[in-house]
Structures are given as C-alpha cells and as structure tokens.
Amino acid sequence: MDMSGFRIFLDTAEVDEIRAAASTGLINGVATNPRKIMLSGKTYRQVLDEIRAFFDGPIAFQALGRDIDEVCRHAREIHAMDPCLAVKVTANGFGLAAVKRLAAEGVRTNATLIYNPTQALMAALAGSPFISPFIGRARMTGSDGIAAIGTMRQLLDAWNLTETCIIGASIKDVEQVIQVILAGAHSVAIPFAVFEAMMDHPMTALGLEGFLDAAAQSGNGRADGARSVRTDEPAQTR
C-alpha cells in the first residue's frame, strides 16, 4: 500500500470541523469513535451522509461487539454502508481474529486501541491495512506511547509487513505530531485544534501584519502594481 496517500486523518465527528479541514485539501481521511459519534447526536449513517456530501476519502467507524461474530456482524453492516470506509476493530484477541476474517472478505479495517507493540505486529499479520496506536492515553498511564510507535515500526519493517499503515492516534498537541512522525508513524490522526495549530505560529501572524502594512504604504499590495487608494484621504489628495 502506498502510505503517501494517507498522511493526515482528522480525529472528529463534527461535520463543520471536517468541512473546514477538507476545504484546505490537506486531510486524507477522517477518524471517528463511538464517543465522538455520541457527542454529535447523530447516527453513523447520518454522519457518513453529511461527510460524503463534500469529502470522498476514507472514514473510520468503530465496529463493536464482545466476541468475533458480533464484531464481524457490525463490521459488515458498516462496510455495506460504504466500501471505502475503514472499519475500526479493537486489537484484542477476538478483535484481531475478526480482523483476519474480515480481511479475507475484503473489508478494510483499522485495528485500534493499540498500546503494546506486539498488538501492532499481530494486527499487521492479520491483514489490517491500518493500525492505530494511542499516544495521549498511553502517557496518561505512565507509558511511553512515542517509544512504542518506534518499536512497532521496527517490528513491521523487520518482517517486511509493508501493507500496514501506522496511524499515530490520541494526539494532544503539535509536539506530539512531530514526535510520532519521527518515531516512525506513517500517518497521524489529529483533532481539529491540532490541525489548525500545525499551520500557525504567533510570529507568522505578526510577520504577515507587518508585510500587509508595508504593502499598503508602498502600493505593492496589488499584483498589477497599482497603488492602493486610501478611502480616508481627502478627495483633493487622491
């Protein structure tokens, strides 16, 4: 799989945020979870239909269940809504067995809630094209999620498992984005606030204001070179 096509996933179910991010052309997919869907007050179907009105990239919805059959049943229902969806499956024992079964059926999965590097290895062996190790939640329990991603990448590379994309998830700030990528993640799943922060800096805003002021004073604010006319000048001086 060409990992370059999947770099930035927006981690939200808020359609207005997805629309704003998609308008930049800089996101490749959308990651949701049951809690985010619940907070939106909508169903999977409603969220999907609203997003598909303006975005045709992969969207991740979680398949739920307490055994292989329940997870597979829900995953198939999600897949039937849109074959381009990535069905999130919990990376535990029965979840990974479900991934193996679903992969054979052509259902695209995203093995999620990964903390242990061997969970990532087993998910890749099961045939999941996406895996999502959680960074922020790992740190809340005293674990080093960044180091874990580095180990996951080493494991996948060692066994030449090149068809699985590591998506660093549960990211809380721009610094974690940088650390996750340098550790070896192919992609990141980020909240809208982090997405916006990745394109901003106080000195950038300050510098732009200075450039705009200078251009207004020199008449170089227009591509044709025509000097801008200040509407607050007296008519006789224009």
The per-residue pLDDT for range 68-125, each reduced to its tens digit, is 999 999 999 999 999 999 999 999 999 999 999 999 999 999 999 999 999 999 999 9
Chain centroid offset of residue 22 CA: 11
142-185 residue pLDDT tens = 778 899 999 999 999 999 999 999 999 999 999 999 999 999 99
Could you tell me if 121 and 38 lie in one domain?
yes
Token digits of residue 36: 């985010």
Burial code (b: 16+ CB inside 10 Å, e: under 16) for 67-91 equals ebeebbebbeebbeebeebbbbbbb
Check which CATH number belongs to the domain holding 123 and give it: 3.20.20.70
Q: Where does a domain end: 165, 182, 197?
A: 197
37-67 residue pLDDT tens = 999 999 999 999 999 999 999 999 999 999 9
Could you tell me if 161 and 193 lie in one domain?
yes
- Residue 235, pLDDT above cutoff 50: no
Distance, in Å, from the CA atom of 9 to the CA atom of 137, rounded to the nearest integer, reads 18
pLDDT for 138 equals 72
13-40 residue pLDDT tens = 999 999 999 999 999 999 999 999 999 9
Could you tell me if 48 and 11 lie in one domain?
yes
pLDDT for 44 equals 96
Residue 89: in which H helix or E strand, if any?
strand 86-90
Distance, in Å, from the CA atom of 129 to the CA atom of 41, rounded to the nearest integer, reads 29
Could you tell me if 154 and 39 lie in one domain?
yes
Query: Which position has the higher pLDDT, 20 or 4?
Result: 20
Could you tell me if 144 and 221 lie in one domain?
no
Domain of residue 206, residue span: 202-237
Could you tell me if 41 and 19 lie in one domain?
yes
Q: Compute the radius of gyration of the chain from its Cα atoms.
A: 22
- Residue 5, pLDDT above cutoff 60: yes
Could you tell me if 188 and 148 lie in one domain?
yes
Could you tell me if 16 and 108 lie in one domain?
yes
State yes or no: is 36 an active-site residue.
no
pLDDT for 220 equals 80
Q: How many domains does the chain have?
A: 2
Could you tell me if 107 and 184 lie in one domain?
yes
Distance, in Å, from the CA atom of 146 to the CA atom of 222, rounded to the nearest integer, reads 47
Query: Which position has the higher pLDDT, 164 or 1?
Result: 164
* Helix intervals (H) in the chain: 15-22, 34-40, 44-52, 68-81, 93-104, 117-126, 136-140, 145-158, 174-183, 192-197, 202-218
DSSP β-bridge partners for residue 165: 130
pLDDT for 100 equals 98
Could you tell me if 189 and 219 lie in one domain?
no
181-234 residue pLDDT tens = 999 999 999 999 999 999 999 999 999 999 999 999 888 866 565 555 444 545
Q: Residue 92 phi/psi, 5° resolution?
A: -110, -170
Token digits of residue 132: 């999502």
Which residue out of 36, 42, 88, 172 is catalytically annotated?
Answer: 88
Could you tell me if 146 and 209 lie in one domain?
no
Whole-structure pTM over 0.75, yes or no? Answer: yes
